[in-house]
Amino acid sequence: MKDNDTHGNADDSPVEMDGGTVTQAAQDHRNTDYLNREVNLLKPSTPFMRDHLRVVWTGFIIWAVIVFGPVTLTAIAPDAMTTRIPALGFPLHYFLVALGAPTGALLLSVWYARKRDALDEKYDIDPSRVDTGVEDDADGTGDATATDGGGQG
Amino acid sequence: MTVPLQAEALDISFKLIPAIMVFLMMASFLAIGYVFKVADTEGMWVAGRGIGNIENGMAIGANWMSAASYLGLAGLVALAGFYGLAFIVGWTTGYFVLLIFLAAQMRRFGKYTAPDFVGDRFNSPLARALAAFTTLLIAYVYSVGQARGMGLVGQYVFGLDIIPMIVVMMTITVGYLALSGMLGATKNMAVQYVILIVAFLAGVYAVGFTEGYSTILPQVEYGALFDELGRQFSAPFENGSYYIWVATAFSLIFGTCGLPHVLVRFYTVENERTARWSCVWGLFFILLLYWAAPAMAAFGVDLFEVVTGSSAYAAEGGMSGAEGDVIVVLAAQFANLPTWFVGLVAAGAMAAAIATTAGLFITASSAVAHDIYSELINPDATQRQQVLIGRATIVVIGALVTVTAFNPPALIGELVAYAFSLAGTVLFPMFFLGLWWENTNQKGALAGMTVGLLLWIGSIINSVLPNYVGFLGEAAGESGALVPLYAQYVPPIGAALVGTPLVFLVTIAVSLATPEPPLETKKMVRQCHSPEPMGQQQTAEDIVSNSGGDTPADD
């Protein structure tokens, strides 16, 4: 059984995990001091950043293919790319660029946002629970509940 | 290569009902903004917390859609064929790059205007002023496209000649600006979005339905028209080489990620998760227009032939640039839809243009008054002096925009694209490197921005100014550019394809050669990437200055 109570705040509800254990990823997250780890796009320094960048780069490569692939293919093989799509009537290159690329970017965006949410879950992060380890008096209200976003994400 | 001004085929006369619709639309923006007016900053935060994914997504859409989307896009697709699609791709797919690299990190940084970000990240008033100057240039170039759109569509509604029309419309814009400022009406962008998208889609559906082109899905049904449209509509690389296509799309994509008025929309959201999801929703709401724009272009081109009897692409009697720019309205007119309906479509276009221009002018005035004047020129500036300078900026830039729009160098969409290539060249690398590489330092940023600005200004002097300035025109001669090779590889519309990588290299090289930024700054960058949730009002700077050595997970 790992120690659940690494947070100092009394008002922090105990983390509810299935079976009461904390995953390795969540443990890593708690043991990471993010303000003392370098930020470098090419050299991720924390497990979270590594996982995140894997998603980011995968998405970026697929995106580049969707966006610049069809037009490049059209430059290389104009005849094949300008054939008509049966039923729809569009030339293939026109369809892939005018409808394919924007729609592809939208689907990729949904995919990324879901993946990123899954990462929060994996690392046991609740975006609605503000826990910065600082006293909540930055805005002078002294009222902790006013800044925590109301608990609903 | 200036564009012909008058849209011959447009029915130019004063029309009462459409004129009333324009004023009602503008009045409703003001009224709604006034009703939802926030009493004080605290109220703003409470309201801010309530802004969810979908509403913020609509706000992103409203912010995004100017005359360039509403009018210019269909015009480009109609006139430039396959090359026009580079604009569709460029103005949509960039949101994915924004989402994965910048949206949430910017939300955490907590500073949204370009001068604020650059000034705080690189600890330099000079860098801040450079970013402000860039912002000012962007606002100016962007507004020229809007003024041209307002002038052209205004002709349909108010029936004046183009030059007095532009003057009248710019006066209305400044009036709108003053009124919205006076009423404290922060624009309710979700409502604005709904009005604009309804006006646009109603036009597409009505034209498609009444002319028998389409039924329920014009966005796909226009495919059946390709046989009749003529090869210029879809033949690849007729109006632009592969290079210029890619350069244009590249500039628009990375310009999207460098435009401050896009990033500011992540300011009001509750947390990074909302920032991400509202970016996704924003892209969806933008696509509702971008899926339909080529359909409107196809209908317009086909109707042009039916009504005028000559092909849109014919050398004689073909579609002019001005007609292309109003094709959205023109198609509705050609389809013999009732005047009030065509007026609705036109009013949507004018509302989009006026609201965008008003926003750009505010940005420009704060860049000059706040970031340049009081930061650099007169640090002891009083509030009064700043307000005066801000107002003077609006008057000067308004006059400049008006005069430039009399004789514009390009189509609406292309003009706006110049602003994007500037943002992609100068601001995007600062945002990207500033957030993703903590060792980017002040000298690197200054060098990078200077190189980017010079490269872009160079491309404008090289291929746009010869149209206006006599001796430059003579020096340029036939080719229209002072240095044809530079114009070929660094055209103003696609300058970022060369510019962005160059600015990256310069910034990185100078940063490596000079001392690293202070630890405080690095921690600020780290805080932008930490997955730890942070409070609504907190900026990365607050967290860093509060934390000292005591960090959340030190056990």
CB contact under 8 A, A134 and B543: yes
pLDDT at A149 over 50: no
Give the chain B residue whose CA is nearest to the CA of A55.
B100
- Is residue A119 within 8 Å of A52, Cβ to Cβ? yes
pLDDT < 70 regions, chain B: 1-6, 36-51, 112, 181-188, 267-268, 536-537, 546-555
Looking at the complex, does the CB of residue B279 fall below 8 Å from at least one CB of chain A? Answer: yes
Please list the residues that pair with B251 across neighbouring strands: none
Looking at the complex, does the CB of residue B533 fall below 8 Å from at least one CB of chain A? Answer: yes
Give Cα B544 distance to the centre of its chain: 33
**Whats the size of chain B, residue-wise?**
555
Phi first, then psi: what are they for A40, rounded to 5°?
Answer: -150, 120
Q: Can you read off the two tokens belonging to residue A70? A: 């069809």
Report the C-alpha gap between B498 and B432 in whole angstroms: 17
Phi first, then psi: what are they for B454, rounded to 5°?
Answer: -65, -40
Which residues 98-127 of A have a C-beta within 8 angstroms of B?
98-99, 101-106, 108-110, 112-113, 116-117, 119-120, 123, 125-127
pLDDT at res. B283:
95
pLDDT at res. B264:
72
CB contact under 8 A, B220 and A6: no
Give the chain A residue whose CA is nearest to the CA of B234.
A94
Looking at this protein, which amino acid is placed at residue B247?
A: A
CB contact under 8 A, B547 and A134: yes
CB contact under 8 A, B82 and A93: yes
pLDDT at res. B417:
92
pLDDT at res. A21:
60
Report the C-alpha gap between B411 and B68 in whole angstroms: 9
Residues of A within 8 A of B295 (CB-CB) are none
Residues of A within 8 A of B49 (CB-CB) are 149-150
pLDDT at res. B6:
67
Residues of B within 8 A of A97 (CB-CB) are 82, 85, 88-89
| Among A35, A116, A139, beta carbon nearest to B523 | A35
CB contact under 8 A, B439 and A40: yes
- Is residue B363 within 8 Å of B190, Cβ to Cβ? no
Task: Grade residue A135 by pLDDT with cuts at 50, 70 and 90.
Answer: very low
Report the C-alpha gap between B292 and B346 in whole angstroms: 16
State the average pLDDT over residues A26-51.
Answer: 85
CB contact under 8 A, A132 and B534: yes
Phi first, then psi: what are they for B48, rounded to 5°?
Answer: -60, -40
Q: Which of A45-49, A126-130, B163-167, B472-476 has the lowest mean pLDDT?
A: A126-130
Looking at the complex, does the CB of residue A10 fall below 8 Å from at least one CB of chain B? Answer: no
Report the C-alpha gap between B244 and B488 in whole angstroms: 8
Report the C-alpha gap between B284 and B435 in whole angstroms: 26
Report the C-alpha gap between B388 and B381 in whole angstroms: 11
State the average pLDDT over residues A72-86.
Answer: 90
Provide the 8-state DSSP code for B494. G
> Shortest Cα distance from B337 to chain A (angstroms)?
27
Looking at the complex, does the CB of residue B474 fall below 8 Å from at least one CB of chain A? Answer: no
Reported as half-sphere exposure (CB side, CA atoms, 13 A), residue B504 has a value of 14
Task: Grade residue A147 by pLDDT with cuts at 50, 70 and 90.
Answer: very low
> Shortest Cα distance from B285 to chain A (angstroms)?
10
**Whats the size of chain A, residue-wise?**
153
Residues of A within 8 A of B534 (CB-CB) are 130, 132
Is residue B270 exposed (0-12), middle (13-18) or buried (19+ Cβ within 10 Å)?
buried
> Shortest Cα distance from A90 to chain B (angstroms)?
5
Report the C-alpha gap between B463 and B473 in whole angstroms: 9
CB contact under 8 A, A35 and B528: no
Report the C-alpha gap between B38 and B16 in whole angstroms: 35
pLDDT at res. B492:
92
